[in-house]
Structure 1
Amino acid sequence: TGQGTQWLSIPVRHTGRFGQPVDAVRVADAAWTKKHWASLSQAYAKAPFFESLAPAVREVYEACREEEYLSAVNRRFIALVAGLLGLSARIVSSRDYAVTGDKNERLVELCRRAGAGAYLSGPAARDYLDETLFTEAGIGVAWMDYSGYPEYPQLHGPFVHAVSVLDLLFSVGPDRAKAYMRPLPREGEGRPCSR
């Protein structure tokens, strides 16, 4: 935005249960969709590709008003972005696999069943992820690093890396966006598995 980065968050119902499965987290209030859309419209109205992409993005926001679970909201946005970028990856839910064990064992088993040769994780998981379990299963662990991506023209102020992929899409469009992204692993390196 003209005032710097702005967080967009979705209010969720608190159950008092720590460690609740992600797919059990419920959205607290559908009003977030209107607030997000108003913020995006205001921040990106003058972006080169906002007008052409706005109908598709707005349609997902409108559909999310009906979603009860945060995971369903996430899935809609993942599908939107994948479609805009022309990605054909199959999107599945961890519920599609019957896995047991602690969180590390479940992750390893999910990756194994999905046929993954590598697991891509956010840097915060370094505190709890047991890489040994992955190594023993023949699954590599890669840590997401958000630095070093090429800069692209943004609307406001000096370049900021830590923004949504929507910033990239509204700024350069779907056709050029891939030039600013890191490639998937090459054939034989295994498919990455991420939560």
Structure 2
Amino acid sequence: METYPLTPDSTALLIELHYLPCLDYLSGLLKFGTVWLEAQEHYQKQSYRNRCYVLTANKVDSLTVPVQQGTRHLPIRDLRVANDQNWQMHHWRCIQAAYGKAPFFEYYAPDIEPYYRKNWTFLFDLNYELLTICLKLMQVRINLNLTEWYEKTPPVGLFDARSCINPANGPESYIFHQPVSYPQNFGPEFVPNLSVIDLLFCQGPAAKDVLKAGLRESEQILKTLR
């Protein structure tokens, strides 16, 4: 795991865009407040860039946005969604089944559902718009910026967390987030680090407080990355 060192001068986070990101990702955004979203990288398969995880009645289910073939070495801004598959209907039906009876679904669903009625051309645009609306619903103010070129070694002041948060990470590998349990819609055991919509639909206005309660200190972050 190669990252730019976390130092007292690190005032902003450099990270890629995820689809309905997990809580470890959101915690990173909350910790820094100023974020540079990597807009010039090449697409990487088997990552959070086009998938998220939700808790359904029987299991943790993954929702994957299909992308067009030929993605090798393709810049992320040029990656097109495969709209020949009716993924929007599938995703929204799964979200409804998972969270339709959650305490705050009826409050936030009207703000999120329209994004599943639109045909998206580029994955990057979909991810950016969903991230923006989720931050707004949680009343989290983040200064989001887009990189204009790719830098393998970012300048001093940026903490490089690109490709550090991925589906293979277990709780011991979470970078910014120490799981704090909250009542979920299904199951007797708490499942950590699901998509932001799990936290939003289950906790509503308290979502930001849950994230704050689980923020790791800088020393803990460095220990995780070693």
Give the TM-score taking structure 1 as reference length. Answer: 0.69
Task: Give the SS at the match of 2:69.
Answer: coil
Contiguous gaps of at least 5 residues in structure 1: 101-105, 126-142, 187-195
Task: Give the SS at the match of 2:62.
Answer: coil
Residue type matched to 2:65 in 1? I
| 1:120 matches 2:120 | no
Contiguous gaps of at least 5 residues in structure 2: 1-55, 167-172, 219-226
| 1:30-179 alignment runs, 5 A limit | 31-62=86-117, 65-94=118-147, 97=148, 99=149, 106-109=151-154, 112=155, 116-123=157-164, 144-145=174-175, 148-157=178-187, 158-173=189-204, 175-179=205-209
How far 1:67 moved relative to its partner?
1.8
Q: CA RMSD in A?
A: 2.6
Counterpart Cα distance in 2 of 1:124 and 1:68: 25
Residue type matched to 2:80 in 1? R
Q: Which has the larger Rg?
A: 1
How far 1:146 moved relative to its partner?
6.8
Point out 4+ residue stretches in structure 1 off by more than 4 angstroms. 182-186
Does the 8 A contact of 2:178 with 2:215 survive in 1? no
Higher-RCO chain (CA-CA 8 Å, sequence separation at least 6): 2
Q: After superposition, what is the alpha-carbon deviation per residue over 1:5-36, rounded to whole angstroms, capped at 9, x for unaligned?
A: 11000111011x52211111100116211111
Alignment: residue pair count:
153
Does the 8 A contact of 1:10 with 1:32 survive in 2? yes
Residue type matched to 2:68 in 1? R
Query: What percent identity do the matched residue pairs reach?
Result: 26
Does the 8 A contact of 1:155 with 1:171 survive in 2? yes
How far 1:176 moved relative to its partner?
0.4
Q: After superposition, what is the alpha-carbon deviation per residue over 1:16-70, rounded to whole angstroms, capped at 9, x for unaligned?
A: x5221111110011621111111101111110000111100102222xx332000
Q: Give the helix-richer structure, 1 or 2.
A: 1
